[in-house]
Amino acid sequence: MANDLSDLITQAEAARIRNVSREAIYGLVARGKLEVVEIGGQKFLKRGEVEKYTPGIGGRPAAKATKKGGKK
């Protein structure tokens, strides 16, 4: 599938669009949440993919409930 070059943006541009740090974008790329297109050694992202990305629920998973009181 051919990429439309006008739809490609840098990771810095993606960070401005999403109003996050460049490091946050790098993290999404590293975790495979955003696809990278490499051209001439430079990495680009698809604008449409960046704009429609929705983050999952973050944070630590809830702890399982434990019984209080213990053994007697």
pLDDT in tens, the chain (72 residues): 455 788 999 999 999 999 999 999 999 999 999 999 999 999 999 999 999 998 877 778 788 877 776 665
C-alpha to C-alpha distances, 33 to 15, 36, 64, 65, 68, nearest whole angstrom:
14, 10, 28, 32, 40
pTM greater than the 0.75 cutoff: no
Facing residues of 36 across strands?
A: 45
CA gyration radius, the chain:
19
Residues whose CB is less than 8 angstroms from the CB of residue 35 and which lie 6 or more positions away in sequence, other chains included: 45, 46, 49
Q: Is 48 helix (H, G, I), strand (E, B) or coil?
A: helix
